Amino acid sequence: MKTTQEILIAAKKAVAGLCGKTTEQKNAALLSMAAALESATEEILAANRQDLTAAQGNISTVMQDRLLLTKDRIGAMADGMRAVAKLPDAVGRVLESHQHPNGMLLQKVTVPMGVVAIIYESRPNVTSDAAALALKSGNVCILRSGKEAFCSAYAIVCALQKGLSAVGITPDAVQLIEDTSRASADELMRADGFVDLLIPRGGAGLIRRCVEHATVPCIQTGTGICHIYVDGAADVKKALTILENAKTSRPSVCNAAEVCLVDRAIAETFLPRMEERLCGSSAPHPVELRVDETAAVILPHAQKAGAQDFDTEFLDYILAVAVVDGVDGAVQHIAAHSTHHSEAIVTEDQTAADFFTAAVDSAAVYVNVSTRFTDGGEFGLGCEMGISTQKLHARGPMGLAELTTYKYIITGNGQIRK
Amino acid sequence: MKTTQEILIAAKKAVAGLCGKTTEQKNAALLSMAAALESATEEILAANRQDLTAAQGNISTVMQDRLLLTKDRIGAMADGMRAVAKLPDAVGRVLESHQHPNGMLLQKVTVPMGVVAIIYESRPNVTSDAAALALKSGNVCILRSGKEAFCSAYAIVCALQKGLSAVGITPDAVQLIEDTSRASADELMRADGFVDLLIPRGGAGLIRRCVEHATVPCIQTGTGICHIYVDGAADVKKALTILENAKTSRPSVCNAAEVCLVDRAIAETFLPRMEERLCGSSAPHPVELRVDETAAVILPHAQKAGAQDFDTEFLDYILAVAVVDGVDGAVQHIAAHSTHHSEAIVTEDQTAADFFTAAVDSAAVYVNVSTRFTDGGEFGLGCEMGISTQKLHARGPMGLAELTTYKYIITGNGQIRK
C-alpha cells in the first residue's frame, strides 16, 4: 500500500510534467482515459460487486443505488470524460494585457493550480469526473474516495492511469489515496506545500472539519439550505409550480428547497393551496410540512416546526414553512439561516425582486425561477466540480475556470524601478 | 472600550447599509473622509506624538520613521483617499450574462465581500488606505493596527467616522479594534459568520499564525524571498542593473530581491563584476553577499552562506548568492526556496525565458525586468491592499476587484427544472 505521504510527493513531482501539456495533448489523454475505462469494465464491475457486498446491511438502499455500477453507467462515465475533452481550455488565457509606460509588457495569464485534492463520498462516477476536470485544467489530482466505494474507485483509477500511460503522461497525475481512514483526510487538509487546493465534497461534518483543521487552501462546497420566498405580489400559480419543483423534483440534492417563507399578506390564502399541492392526495410524493407558529394557525393539521427545522438540510420530502413580514422579513430570515447556496423570490413586483437580489448574500439568487438550476451544466460551464458556498475564489458551480489561478508574466528589456 | 465582539456585531449590521450605496455615494463618502482627516490634523499629530513617545527605546529608528506622521503625510493620506474616489467602481460589474434555452437570464455580477478585516503593523497610513479601498469596494472594514501605532490609528479612524457620518453613512462601516493584545487578532481569525475576508499584513509569523489558526477565509500576503536568475545567455550589463535595482533601490520591501542565482556557465566572469557593482567602493550602499560553496571559490573574500540564508527575507542590504546549472537548476532552486512572490530571469535566450516563465510558480515572473515592479500601482490597479502570495482568489497585487466576490442573479418567468 502506498502511504499518503508517498502519494503527495509523487503528485508534486508530476506537476511540472502536466503543466506544459497542450490542449491537444490533454484532450488525447482524456480520450485515452475514457477508452481505458470502458476496456476495464469487467474489472471495475467485479470491484464494485466487492464494495456492494461489503456495504450490504450497512448503508441504505438509496446509498446502495448510488454505489452501484453497471456497464451503462461506466459507459456514461467514459462519455463524461469525452465531453470534458470537448470543452474549451481554461489554461493559458490572457485575462489582461497592458504595456507599462516604460515599455515592458504585463500579461495576466491563467495557469493550473498545481495539485488539487478532492475528498468525496460514495458515488464512483465522481472519481472519473474529478480526474477529467483536473486533467483538463492542467492539474494533478489526488482523490480520496469514501470507504464504501474504495474498491470501485481503485479499479477506476487503475484504468485511468493506464489511459494516461498510453499517451505518455505519468500515471501519478491521477492518484487515489489508499488509506481510507480519517487520518488520510486529515493529512490532506494539512499537506502544506503539497496540496494547492482541497475540495471537500460531502456532508456538513466534513466541511466543518476542513474549516476547522485545514491549513491548505480549501473551498467549502455543497451544503444547501435553500429558501423559496413567496411574496405578497407573487403569481400564486408560478409560486406553487416553482415550490413543487424545487422541493420534490430531486430532494436529495443540494439545490433542492428546504424552506418556504410566505409573506404574511397572503399567508391565509396561500398556505392552504400550498398544503393541497404538496401534501394532497394528488401529490405524486407527499411532502411533510414543518410549520412555524403563525403558519400553524392557518394549517392546524401540519406538524409544528422544531428548533432545528429551519437550520436543517433535510435532503428529503420535508419542507419547513415560516410566515414572514414581506421581503424585509424574508431577507432577515435568510440572513440568519441560509448556507449561502441558492434562494428564490416569487413576485411580480420589480422593486421587491431588486431588493431581494441585492440583499440576499448567496451564490445564486433567483427571481421567479426554481433553485434547482444551480448546477454547472445549467449555468453554461459544461461541467461541475462542486458548488462553492464560500465567497473566496469561486462562488456557486465550479467548472474548469475555477480550477485555475493566474500569474503575471512581465517581459522587458532591462527595465528598473526608479 | 468596545469589545471585539461588539465591533464584529456592529460591522455585520453595517453591511446591508453599505452594499446598496451607489458609486457616487461612495465617492462622496471618500471625499468627506479625506476632508475630515485633514480637519483632524492637530488631534492626529497629538495622538501620533503619544505613540512616538511610548515607542522610544523600544523600536528602531527605521520603525520610528515609519510611525511618524507630519502635516504633509496626513495630507498625502487624504490625497490617497481622493485618488481612490477616482478609481472605477469594481462592484456591480456584469462578468457574464447569458440566456438559458428556457428563457431565463443568468447574470454573474460582482458584489462586495461583506466584512473585510485587516491586521497590520505600525504604518498609520495603512489605516486610511485600507479604509478607503474597503469602502470603495462596498465592504465594511475592521482594522486592527499594531500596538505601537494604536493612538494614531484611533485618531485617524475617529476622523474617518466623522467623515462617514457627515454624508449619512454609519460610522460602523470603518471600525478599529480597541484591544491590541494578541487575543483580538485570534478572535478575528476565528470570527466565522462575521468576517468574510481576513487580510493579514505583516511578517511571516503573523501569516503563519493565520494559516494555522484562521477558520475565516484568509489571504496570505507579503513575504517575498524574490530571486534574480542570471542566465548564461544574459546581457551582463542588464543583469547588473536589474540586480542592483532589485536589491538596493528599497531593500525593506517585499518585492526586493533576496537571492541571486548565477548560471554556472558564466559564474566565473559574472560574479566578480557583480561583487564590484554591489560591494565595491563606488556602490552607494555596499551590499553584504552570502555566497554558496561554488561561488565562494570565485569570490574568496565574500561571507559564506549559512543554512538559513536561502530561506530568509533579509529586507536589508544583504544578498544570498548561489551558482546553479542553467535555467533548470534555477527553476529547481526557486521551487525549493521561493515564497511564490516575484522572480526574474535575465537572458537574451527566448527558449530559456519561456521555460522560466512557464515553470516558475510565482505571482509575478519577470523576463529582463526588476522584481521591484510587483505593486498595485505599477500593475495598473491604481491602488493596493497587499500582495497575495497564495493562489486562491487573488494572486499578486490586490486592488479593488480583489476585494469583491460575485453572485449569480437569475431572472425568469416561472422556469422549473425538468
- In tens digits, chain A (418 residues) has pLDDT values of 899 999 999 999 999 889 789 999 999 999 999 999 999 999 999 999 999 999 888 888 777 888 999 999 999 999 999 999 999 999 999 999 999 999 999 999 999 999 999 999 878 889 999 999 999 999 999 999 999 999 999 999 999 999 999 999 999 999 999 999 999 999 999 999 999 999 998 777 888 888 889 999 999 887 899 999 999 999 999 999 999 999 999 998 899 999 999 999 999 999 999 999 999 998 989 999 999 999 999 999 999 999 899 999 999 999 999 999 999 999 999 999 999 999 999 999 999 999 999 999 999 999 999 999 999 989 988 888 999 999 999 999 999 999 999 999 999 999 999 8
- The answer to whether the Cα torsion of A341, A347, A350, A352 is positive or negative is negative
Chain A to chain B Cβ contacts (< 8 Å): 190
Residues 6+ apart with CB under 8 A from A143: A117, A118, A120, A127, A130, A131, A153, A157, A174, A175, A176, A177
Whether residues A219 and B367 touch (CB distance < 8 A) is answered with no
- Give the span between the Cα atoms of A132 and B262, in whole angstroms: 40
Phi, psi of B241 (to 5 degrees): -65, -45
Rounded CA-CA distance B133/B385 in Å is: 7
Q: Residue A110's beta-bridge partner residues?
A: A406
When pLDDT is averaged across residues B407-412 and rounded to a whole number, the result is 98
Q: CB A373 to CB B104 under 8 A?
A: yes
Residue B205 has a CB neighbour count (10 Å cut-off) of: 9
* DSSP β-bridge partners for residue A119: A144, A200
| Nearest residue, CB atoms, B372 vs list A246, A393, A417 | A417
| Amino acid identity at A400 | L
In chain A, which residue's Cα lies nearest the Cα of B367? A411
By Cβ distance, the residue of B212, B370, B395 closest to A416 is B370
Look at residues B137, B138, B134, B154 and name the one whose alpha carbon lies nearest to residue B146: B154
Task: List C-alpha distances in Å: B206 to B199, B213, B277, B380.
Answer: 11, 10, 36, 28
End-to-end CA separation in angstroms for chain A: 57
Exposure of B357 in the CB half-sphere (CA atoms within 13 A): 26
Find which of A94, A242, A351, A369 to mutate to test the B interface (most B CBs within 10 Å of its CB). Answer: A369
3-state DSSP assignment of residue A155:
helix
Nearest to B374 by CA among A103, A196, A100, A113: A100
Q: Are B116 and B91 in contact (CB under 8 A)?
A: no
Model confidence pLDDT, tens digit, residues A375-407: 998 998 888 899 999 999 999 999 999 999 999
Report pLDDT for B64.
85
Give the minimum alpha-carbon distance from A53 to chain B in angstroms, rounded to a whole number: 34
* pLDDT score recorded for residue A145: 95
Q: What is the pLDDT of residue B211?
A: 84
**pLDDT confidence bin for B59, thresholds 50/70/90:** confident
Give the separation between CA B201 and CA B126, rounded to whole angstroms.
10
Q: Is B368–A414 a contact, with Cβ atoms under 8 angstroms apart?
A: yes
Chain B residue numbers with beta carbons less than 8 Å from the beta carbon of A390 are 217
Q: State the cell numbers at A56.
A: 450490504
The answer to whether A132 and A160 are in contact (CB under 8 A) is no
CA–CA separation, A366 and B53 (whole Å): 57
Report which of A316, A315, A363, A321 is spatially closest to residue A338, judged by C-alpha positions. A363
Question: Are A146 and A121 a contacting pair, CB within 8 Å?
Answer: yes
Q: Decide if pLDDT at B163 tops 90.
A: yes
CA distance B38 to B390: 36
- Taking 80 as the threshold, does the pLDDT of residue B42 lie above it? yes
Give the one of B100, B407, B415 whose C-beta lies nearest to A362's C-beta: B407
Provide the edge-to-edge strand list for the sheet that holds A342-346.
A303-304, A288-291, A318-324, A257-263, A226-230, A342-346, A364-369, B404-415, B105-112, B94-99
Pick from A372, A257, A363: which is nearest to B412 by CA? A372
| Section B124-143 average pLDDT | 95
| Residues in chain B, overall count | 418
Q: Is the dihedral of CA B107, B109, B115, B116 positive or negative?
A: positive
What is the pLDDT, as a whole number, of residue B291? Answer: 98
Q: Which of A230, A231, A340, A361 to mutate to test the interface with B (most CBs of B within 10 A)?
A: A361
pTM of the entire structure? 0.93
Give the model's pLDDT for residue B178.
96
Residues of chain B positioned with their CB less than 8 A from the CB of A348: none
What number of residues does chain A have? Answer: 418
Contact criterion met (CB < 8 Å) for A217 and B391:
yes
Rg (CA), chain B: 24
Decide if pLDDT at B206 tops 80: yes
Contact, B137 vs B400, CB < 8 A?
A: yes
For each of the domains in chain B, give its residue range(s) and CATH number, in order of start. 4-219+398-411 (3.40.605.10), 226-373 (3.40.309.10)
CA-CA distance, B40 to B48, in Å (whole number)? 12
Q: What residue type is assigned to position A193 of the chain?
A: G
Query: How confident is residue B123, by pLDDT bands cut at 50, 70 and 90?
Result: confident
Asked if pLDDT for residue B203 goes beyond 90, the answer is no
Q: Tell me if A333 sits within 8 A of A228, measured CB to CB.
A: no
Mean pLDDT of B51-57: 91
Nearest-angstrom CA–CA distance, A159 and A150: 14
The predicted structure's pLDDT at residue B381: 87
Alpha carbon of residue A25 to chain centroid: 27
Chain B CB contacts of A417 under 8 Å are 245, 249, 370, 372-373, 378
Give the closest residue to B387 by CA, choosing from B150, B211, B202, B257: B202
Three-state DSSP at A194 gives coil
Specify which residues A109 forms β-bridges with. A94, A407
pLDDT averaged over chain B?
95
Q: Which among A405, A314, A403 has a CA at the least distance from the CA of A116? A: A403
Model pLDDT, residue A66:
84
- Contact by Cβ (8 Å): B391, A114: yes
User: Picking from A205-209, A228-232, B2-6, B307-311, which range would have the lowest pLDDT averaged per residue?
Assistant: A205-209
**What 3-state class would DSSP assign to B289?**
strand
Q: Are strands B387-388 and A318-324 parallel, antiparallel or unpaired?
A: unpaired
HSE (CB half, 13 Å, CA atoms) of A5?
0
Detail the DSSP E strand segments found in A39-168: 94-99, 105-112, 115-119, 140-144
d(CA B11, CA A225): 25
The set of cell numbers assigned to A178 is 489508499
- Chain A residues whose CB is inside 8 A of the B415 CB are 368-370, 373
Is the model's pLDDT at B39 over the cut of 80? yes
The contacts of residue A156 (CB under 8 Å, 6+ apart) are: A37, A40, A44, A77, A124, A127, A128
The percent helix, strand, coil of chain B (3-state, each to 5) is 45, 20, 35
